[in-house]
Structures are given as C-alpha cells and as structure tokens.
Structure 1
Amino acid sequence: MEDTTETDSLTDALQAISVSTDLIEEELKPHLDTLLDALLEKKKDVAVEISKSGILPILAQVLKNKSSLSCQVALVVAEMAREAAVRSLCIEAGLVKVLVPYLDSGDQEMLLNAGRAIGRICFDNTHQQDQLVDAGVIPRLVSIMKKYPENDPLVNVCVLALCNLADMDVLKLQFVECGIPEVLSEMIRGLQGGSDPHTLCSIKVASNLTVSLLLGDESMQKCFGEGSGIVYQDVVSWLQSSNTQLHLSGALAIANFARNDSNCVKMVELGVVPHILTMLEQHIHEGDVSVLHAGLSALRNLAIPATNKARMLDDGVAERMKALLQSDMAPVQFKLLGMLRMVLDGQEEAAKVLGTDATVLSRVTEWCSVKDHVGVRGEANRLLAALIRYGRSPEVVQAVAQADGMRHLISMSKSEHVIMQNEALVALAIASEIDFAESMKNMVMEADLLTVLKRILEDPTGTMEVKLSALSLIGSLATSSVMKKELEDVNMKGSLVDLMDHSSSKLALQAGAILSLLGDTS
C-alpha cells in the first residue's frame, strides 16, 4: 500500500511540474522534494520515468533562470544521471548547456551538484566532452580545486570530471598548461597519511590522472622539467611513501618519464634508482604484482642508455633484485629477467658475478624450460645467452654448463625468432671458443645442431647476421679435434664452399677461413 502511495505522489509531482507554466518557486519546491526522495531511495526505473515525463525542459528553464531552486534542480539532475539510460535525454533537453555556467558559482553545494550532474551526463560521451572543453570547463574545474582544496567531495568531483576528459590525447598538454598536475600533487600531499577508504580512493584517482597526463610526450616533458619539476619531485616522494597506490603510480610515472634517454640519464644522476629498489624490496614478500611489475619496468627503461648501466649496477640493481628470483608470479619473473638482461648489456664484471652465481643460474635455467609462460621462457634463455656474451670468461661458461644451461642455448639456437636464434649462436660460439667440453659435444650431437647450422648457411632467405653468427660457431667447433670429424660427416665443407661465391665478401672470407681450419684449401 505504501509503495502505491509513493508511486502516486511521484506521478502527481511529475504531473504538477509538467503543467506548470509560471515556474512559481514555492509551488515547485515540494514537487522537486518528491522527485528527489524517490531518486535517493534508488527505486527501479524512477530516473527513466522522470526523464520520459516531459519535465526535463522545465528543469532546464529553472536552471537558465538562475532561480533559488537551481541547486535543488541540479541535485535532481545529478541523481537522475546515475542511470545511463537517461543521459541522452538530459543532453537533448539542454541541461548540460545550462549547468556549465554554474561552475562559476560561489556556492560550494551548487558547484558540487552541477559538477556531478555534468560529469555523469557526459561520461563516456566524446562529443559532449568536446563541447565541454570548447565551453572552457577545464580552467573552471582547476579554479574550483584551487579555491576549495579542503572540500574533498567537491575536489573529487572535479578530478573525476578531468579524468573523463584526460582520455582525449589532444588535451593532455592543455591540462598541464592549466596547472592540473601541480594541483593534483598538492591534493595528494594533503591526503597522504590518511587510511580511510574515501582518502585512499581520492589518492588513487588523483595519482592515476597524473600518470595518464604523462602519456603525452609534450605534457610529460613539461612535468619533468629537466628533473626539477614539482610533479617529478613529488613522484619521487611517492616512491618513499607508505601508500601502495602511490608506489604503483610513482613507478608508472617514472617509467613514463623514462621514455627518452636524456630523462633517463638525468633521473639516474638524481638518484632515483635506490628509491625504486627500496620500494620494490617492501613488496617482495607481500607479492604486490602490480607494483613489482611497474617498478621493474621503470628500472628496465632507465637501463636503456649505455651510460646508465654501470651507475645502476653501482646502485645495487643486480644484487638487490636477486631476491625477486624467488617470485612465483610470471609477470614479475618476465620483467625481472628483461631488466637484468638490459642492465648487464656490455657490463663484463657484473655479468661474471651473476654468471657464476649458482643460485641465480639454477633459477634462470629452471625458467628456461617453463611450459606455461612463453615470455618467461624466452627471457630466461636470452639472459643465459647474455651472461656468456657479456661475461666472456671460462668461469661463466663452466658455471652455465654445470647448471645445464648449454642444453637450453642449443635449443634456443633453433628458435623461429631471429633475434633469439642469433643471441644463442653468438653465446654458443663464445662458449665453444673458451671451453669446449666433451659434454658439450654430446649435446651438440644429440640436438643435431650441425644440421641446423648447415641449414642456416644454405637458407637463401636467412639474414646476414644469423649466417655470420652460425659461421662463428662453426669456426669455434672446427678448432676442436673432436668435432672436425662430425663436421665432415654432415658435409659442412660443401655448404662452406658454396658461400665462397656469396655476394657478401665478409661471409665469403669467413667461410674460407673455416675451410682452412678444416684442412680444405680448394
């Protein structure tokens, strides 16, 4: 009976508003109260019923007239617009257009209601968002955030509205030029230390928006400010906070700043690496995969410039991140292996240290044959090859062989991926030249590697780089008395003789040198 009464009162209110011509405020207010009560009770289809009753143009007129009921009407519209089904009707009635001027209001409640209404109506509507930008909404939202920083609900409404607009790439620079990242940084500084769900949610939204603004190259550079920008400095402080969300956003932001070499060099000079390492160590045992993944991505990006590698190793990257080898999370394993390979590039001493560490080699060779994650398997094999390529020492070769790593490299030399195949061939050539053991001969024969090498030399579509690497390996094998007969048995000489006529003088010369080693002077 009560439901019927409430339904009747809603119907009466809608009828009364729809026939109202003079828009007398005293008469409209109780009917608006009825609408609001029904919406706040979140009864099914109430918003749709209101939107289809024909009163939306009347509500738009009330807002246009700037009456004392405007704040209440804006609240009604905001509550209605929670329902996706009514948003297009709100737009057709012109509600967005009449709500936008209220973003200049001095009444914080009015700002809150208008902001919520606009944000909800225009959510996921690119055309409407374009119109909001044209209407100058961005500086208005920034102004509200600067004017009322203590009003958390109002600031959150502005941030959420900006998040919707930030998806439009062309606006990222405009956001930065309006000072939005600095406002967000200040907002986060004020919220840090709080642990209630509302505060944590605000931190998440604000820090996510900051990261999204860094996806644009120009906006990212402005925020970086050669390492002295307030936003960059705040991001570094996020890494040192106790908030997991800020750790994640901080790492993602550093990875974005590290999209060009000059920024990478500057950040390493300014000492960001130890902060990332300390932050990652806090999550090793908690196992927060998102933070670990983001932090390792940032380290990998930072390690790309050649000048950064030695400094990062001095900062303890390889030594401190060894603990992550115990992780059983594939995304973390994948990023860790890629990062270590990048930082070891050309670093002989570091490669020798890691390449003779039995614990490291045991874990890496275990991942070389992991079945359920092809990315981890690939990166583990590539790191193994890199340890030999960069370490270039008998100790590393022996340690890798002892860890059963040669078997994996021989298997990798058959890879369909040219880069991986080439890396394996180079590593095997170095290993064979440094220390060719009897056990390696057995593996070479069991894997039918000589046939693979012969096929590479004879492949008319093969790359020059892979052919040269295959020749290097054949040359290393040819210096071993135990392998000469095996090379003869597969008629490697025939393939080498054919290369003597190759258009590449480099290939022809190398083939001739190997033929000499094999005792063929034809």
Structure 2
Amino acid sequence: MLCINTLIITEQRSFSLLRESGIFSTLAKILKGNPRCAVKAAQVLSEIAKNEEMKKPCIEADLVPTLIPLLESTDQEMLLHAGRAIGRICYDNRKLQEELVKVGVITPLVRVLTDYPESDPLVHVDLLALCNLADLDTAKEALSKTKVAEQLVKQLRRAENHEKLEIIFEVLQALAENDALKVQLVEAGVQEVLSEILMRLQGSSQAENTCIVKAASDLIVSLLLGGKKTRRHTDISDIKKKKKSPLDLPSSLLLSQLTDTSATYGNCERMVQLGVIHQLLDLLEKHVESEDISVQHAALSALRNLAIPVVSKVQILEEGVAERIQTLLRSEMPPVQFKLLETLRMLADGQADAAEILGQDPMLLNRLVQWCSANDHTGVHGEANRLLASILHHNRSQEVVKAIQEAQGVKHLISMTTSEHAAMQNEALNALAIASAINLGTFFLKESQLVQSLHKLLQDDNTSPEVKYNSMHLLCSLLNSGNLILICLHLCPNSPVPGPVCTTAFLYSNKESASSCTCRHTFILLMLSAKEKQR
C-alpha cells in the first residue's frame, strides 16, 4: 500500500511539474512552426493526453485547434499521432466534439479511410474518432455528405479481429439512426456483408462471436426500422442458460423486431429486393419440425411485415413465395399456424393472383377447413375463416369458388356471419355474396341455415348498420340467383312472400333509422320474392 501511495504522489508531482514547465505552449509552437519535429511533438502530446488530468491543460493551451490542420498531412505517422492526440483530448467531452465537427474534422477523417484503408493502426485510430463523434446529430449530418458508408462497409468486409468489428458495428449502429446514411449503407451493400458474417459465425459457441452476431442482428433491425433504433438486449449468460445456438437466438430476436409498426415501406421494399424473403423461408424450413417456435413465429411475423407494401407483394409472388410458405402447413403449433394464416392473408390482400394460387390449392384448403373447426384455439379459428373470406374477396373466379365449396369451406363462412366481431361478419357476408353469384346450390344453402342466420342478424337491434346492409345485399344476391326463393318457399309454403325474408324485410323497412340503401335493398328483396312466388 505504501508503494502505491508513493507512486500516486510521484505521478501527481510529475503532472504538476509538466503544467508548470510550459511544455504545452512549447508543443503548440513546435506543431505550428517546426514540421520536422511536429510528428514527435504530436506523439508526445498523444501520450500525455492518456491521463485524464492532463486533458484540461491541453484544452487550455488550445492544442486541439493546432492539431486539426495536421490531419490534412500525407504523412501516415503524423496522421496517426495527431489523430490519437485529438481523440484522447476530446474523449467524453461533448462540447469539444461539437467544436471539432464545426471546424470540419469529418472530412479528413473520411479521407483517411479512403486513402489508407489497409493501414491498420491508422484505420483503428480513425474508427475510434468516428465512434466518439457518431452519436452527434451534427456529425451524422456532415457524414451523410461524404462517402463514409462505402468506406465503412469495406472495412467491415476486411475486418478479422473482434475488437475492430465491435468498433465498426458501434459506428454503423449510430449512423443507421440517420435516414440518409441508412440508405447509403444499404446501397453500399452492408446487408450482404452482415449476411456473410452471420453465416461465418453460425455454430460458434464463443462469447465473442455471439456478441458480433448480436451486433449484426441489431444493425439489420436498425436498417429496417424507421426513426430511432429499437433494440432488445440479451445477456450472453441468458443465451447459455437457454442452450440455444448463437445464431438461433439473434435470428429470433432480429426477426421479431421486423414486426415493429414503425418499419417504413421503403426499407421493407429494399430488403425484399435484396433477397431477404428467401433467407427467411430457408430459416423457416430449417425450424419447421422444431419444438422451439420462437424462430418460426418471428420469421412469419417478419414476412407479414415485409409483405405489406403492394410493390413487395408483387415481387414476393413472382418469386414463388406463396408456394414455398405452404410447406409450413404441417406445423401443429397454434402460434405458428396463426402467424402463417396471417401472413397468407396479407399476401392475398389486393392480389388476385395470390388469391387464385391459394384458392386452388387442395392441401391448403383442406388444412384451412380443419383450422376453421379448431375451436380450442380461437386465434387460429378466426384467422382461418378470415383467409377463406379474403381468398373469395380478392379472386372472384368460378374455379376458386368451386374449390372452396368442394373443400366444404362455405359452411364455415356462413358460421362466420354469426361472429361477435362486426369486421369478420362483414368479411363473411361479402365473400358469400361473391360466391352466390357462382350459384352455391339450393340443397347446400338449405342445409347450412344461411337464411335463418341472416334473419337473426337483421332482427337483432345490436347488429351494426353495415352488417345489416351487407346481409340485405347478400339476400338480394341470393334471390337473383333463384336459389333462396326455393328455400324460403320450403320454409313457408303458404305465404305470398317467403316467411323469414318477408318478416325481416317488413320489419326492417319500417325502421326509422334505416338508410336509403338498406330500404332499396328491402324493396328489391320483397319484389323479387313476390315475383318468384307468382311463378
């Protein structure tokens, strides 16, 4: 202990002597007016600035403004020592860092990466400097006007040791918060390098590799998301406890982040164009039999998110994703089933071609009908019904209607009209109205109790106006097809107009709150019913 105290006292005495000696003003003069000795002066200054107590005298002597012009030098040793000195003096000093950006330090820093990309010591110092400045908005703005993204991607590609990778990832993560820099990084091909890193480190159990994979995953998330970065941190100890491979956990973590509602259309479209979709599908197929559903669930969530933009839907369909994704139909995990159905429904949204592919796949339709009966999992049950309705809504071909009817899917749409959710009721009613134009068959309609279901909807005061309107629209469509009349006559043969329909139409036409559209439907309904009866 005595020796340590003696060393501390000696060190403090040395610092005091340095300050009193006038060395800082002497170093400043050498840096400004003696080119031959300037390199050594910069080296001495960089060593002095290692100590926290020496930073203040360096600042007071205005050594930072003196050092900045030296960054324009073509002497690599000068650049190395001047860069170190500036970095050490300004470390953790936001005010000084802002001043550095204002006086234009960004340009020479990027130039060093461009002119000396293979000088490891120089690049290391340069990256540390960028790392210290990258969190500043002013620095990001200045960097967005340079080709720093291209140079950083090159350094990321050639980086071999973990320390360098970590520094680069820290810089890239900060820059990815800026939209302009984010685009530049993607255009520079950062995603390809990240993919190579993830593939290279797959299967490694080293903690250092796990950290790199995590950093790469976080960066991809930041590239996909709009606005500020969103990260979810997981300790290495947690990874070991769960006994997952180092790639699986970051993959699940990465993919789950893609569901964030702040994901921008532009970024999603770019990722689709870069082939991310097939990588997700490869990951899904690899884990389809796994009991751990985190990766499957997260990947499907990511696929759904990426399929939202119309442009992405078209490209996804052209690449055959609709067919590939159906390999997951054999999954017995309800959360995976739910996400699969949700993703397929998003693919079919507004896309007649996708709806046709899905609507004419016997295996998919049979699985859908099974899931429509899955009352033990309401989420899967509801999504299966909604996908059936969506297929009919977005592809109105006779072949699709026939295929769904043969798979016995129509009865589930009819059951869906009694859902407690108005949105699902409307989806079912609209789908049935489309299907009725293809002629669903008198016997089937009779057995399905469709008329009775519509009758209840129209009589119930709690039914929303939109649902009642769509119910009347479906009744009119059925009447035009000629099938409903026969069923109604069977139910009420002695009535001048069919019993349930007549009663409902009469009651609803007298509602004061009835809209003009609904009244028109009611009138048409009564006229068609009476006309058919007179035959």
Equivalent position to 2:298, from 269, 283, 290: 290
Task: Report the Cα offset of residue 22 of structure 1.
Answer: 1.5
In the alignment, structure 1 residue 36 sits paired with structure 2 residue 50: yes
Contact 1:303 1:309 in 2 (8 A): no
2:24 aligned residue: 20
Change (3 A) 1:453 1:382: farther
The residue that corresponds to 1:112 in the other structure is 124
SS of the aligned residue for 2:417 comes to helix
Quickly say closer, same or farther: Cα 1:141–1:394, change in 2 above 3 A: closer
Tell me which amino acid in the other structure corresponds to 2:329: M
The amino acid of 1:515's aligned partner reads S
Q: Distance in 1 between matches of 2:104 and 2:253?
A: 38
Post-superposition CA distance 1:326-370 (Å, at most 9, x none): 33xxxx56532222334672344436753476752343x4444x6
Residues in 1 aligned to 2:408 and 2:21: alpha-carbon distance in whole angstroms? 85
Give the direction of change, closer, same or farther, for the CA distance of 1:455–1:150 in structure 2 (3 Å limit). Answer: closer
Counterparts of 1:158-197 in structure 2, within 5 Å, are 158-172=168-182, 174-175=184-185, 178=188, 180-181=190-191, 184=194, 191=201, 194-197=204-207
Aligned counterpart, 1:221: none
Amino acid at match of 2:25: T
**Pairing partner for 2:417 from 396, 409, 412:** 409
The 2-side partners of 1:187 and 1:272 are apart by 14
Mapped contact 2:204–2:246 kept (Cα < 8 A): no
Percent identity (aligned): 20
Question: 2:66 maps to which residue?
Answer: 61
- Report matched runs for 1:231-270 at 5 Å: 243-244=247-248, 245=250
Give matches, 1:19-418, under 5 Å: 20-23=24-27, 33=47, 36=50, 50=55, 54-55=59-60, 57-62=62-67, 64-65=69-70, 71=80, 74-75=83-84, 78=87, 83=92, 86-93=93-100, 94=103, 96-97=105-106, 99-103=109-113, 104-105=115-116, 107-123=119-135, 125-142=136-153, 144-145=155-156, 148-172=158-182, 174-175=184-185, 178=188, 180-181=190-191, 184=194, 191=201, 194-206=204-216, 209=219, 243-244=247-248, 245=250, 275=282, 277-281=284-288, 285-288=292-295, 289-295=297-303, 297=305, 304-305=313-314, 308=317, 315=324, 317-318=325-326, 320-323=328-331, 325-327=333-335, 334-341=338-345, 342=347, 345-346=355-356, 347-350=358-361, 354-355=365-366, 359-363=370-374, 365-368=375-378, 379=383, 381-383=385-387, 385-386=389-390, 390=401, 391-393=403-405, 396-397=408-409, 400=412, 407-411=415-419, 415=422, 417=423
The offset of 1:108, in angstroms, is 1.6
Could you say what secondary structure the match of 2:131 adopts?
helix
> What is the aligned partner in structure 1 of residue 232 from structure 2?
none
Q: Radius of gyration: which is bigger?
A: 2
Identify if the C-alpha distance between structure 1 residues 300 and 169 changes in structure 2 by more than 3 Å, giving closer, same or farther: closer
| In structure 2, C-alpha distance between the alignment counterparts of 1:396 and 1:303, rounded to whole Å | 32
Q: Deviations over 1:263-314 (max 9, x none)?
A: 78x979x987963541341655353343342255567889944994996565
The change in CA–CA distance for 1:184 and 1:490 in structure 2 (over 3 A counts) is closer
Classify 1:300/1:137 alpha carbon distance in 2 versus 1 (closer, same or farther; 3 Å). closer
Q: Which residue of 1 aligns with 2:501?
A: 487
- Distance change in 2, residues 1:462/1:14 (3 Å): farther
User: For the Cα contact (< 8 Å) 2:156–2:193, is it kept in 1?
Assistant: yes
Q: Does the Cα contact within 8 Å between 1:300 and 1:338 map onto a contact in 2?
A: no
**1:107 CA displacement:** 3.9
In structure 2, the CA distance between the partners of 1:482 and 1:171, relative to structure 1 (3 Å rule), is same
CA–CA distance in 1 between the matches of 2:252 and 2:503?
Answer: 60
Q: After superposition, what is the alpha-carbon deviation per residue over 1:204-224, rounded to whole angstroms, capped at 9, x for unaligned?
A: 4446556766789xxxxxxxx
Counterparts in 2 of 1:36 and 1:294: CA distance versus 1, 3 Å: same
In structure 1, C-alpha distance between the alignment counterparts of 2:418 and 2:178, rounded to whole Å: 48
- What secondary structure sits across from 1:345 in the alignment? helix
Aligned twin of 2:231: none
Displacement after TM superposition at 1:323 (Å) = 0.9
State the distance in 2 between where 1:62 and 1:258 align.
40
Code of the residue aligned with 2:163 in structure 1: it is P
- Matched residue, 2:446: 436
Residue 20 of structure 1 and its aligned partner are, at CA, apart by 1.4
Residues 50-103 of structure 1 deviation map (CA, whole Å, 9 limit, x = unaligned): 4698358414534544696864664566567774xx223222255945655544
CA distance in structure 2 between the partners assigned to 1:17 and 1:355 by the alignment:
89
Q: Aligned partners of 1:321, 1:258: CA distance in 2, in Å? A: 29
What residue in structure 1 maps to residue 398 of structure 2?
none
2:288 match: secondary structure: helix
CA–CA distance in structure 2, aligned partners of residues 310 and 175 of structure 1? 25
- Matched to 1:360, the amino acid is W
RMSD, matched Cα:
5.7
Unaligned runs of at least 5 residues, structure 1: 39-45, 217-240, 371-375
Cα distance in 2, alignment partners of residues 350 and 425 from structure 1: 23
Amino acid at match of 1:488: C
Q: Secondary structure at the match of 2:174?
A: helix
| Secondary structure, aligned partner of 2:329 | helix
Q: 2: distance between equivalents of 1:359 and 1:134?
A: 57
Q: Which runs of 5+ in 2 are unaligned?
A: 31-38, 227-244, 349-353, 394-400, 493-497
| DSSP-derived class of the 1:436 partner | helix
Cα distance change of structure 1 residues 5 and 171 upon mapping to structure 2, 3 Å threshold: same
1:195 Cα deviation (Å)? 3.9
- Preserved CA contact (<8 Å) 1:119 1:160: yes
Cα separation, 1, equivalents of 2:9 and 2:342: 67
- Measure the CA separation in 2 of the matches of 1:174 and 1:199: 27
In structure 2, C-alpha distance between the alignment counterparts of 1:379 and 1:273, rounded to whole Å: 22
Q: Which residue is equivalent to 2:427?
A: 423
Q: CA deviation at 1:449?
A: 0.8
Question: Contact 1:149/1:155 (CA < 8 Å) preserved in 2?
Answer: yes
Is the Cα contact below 8 Å between 2:201 and 2:209 reproduced in 1? yes
Amino acid at match of 2:123: L
1:246 CA displacement: 5.7
Q: Distance in 2 between matches of 1:81 and 1:463?
A: 70
Inter-CA distance 282–22: structure 2 relative to 1 (3 Å threshold):
farther
Distance in 2, matches of 1:185 and 1:345, equals 32
Matched residues in 1 for 2:251 and 2:299: separation? 9
- Asked if residue 516 in structure 1 is aligned to residue 521 in structure 2, the reply is no
Aligned residue pairs, count: 455
TM value normalised by structure 2: 0.61
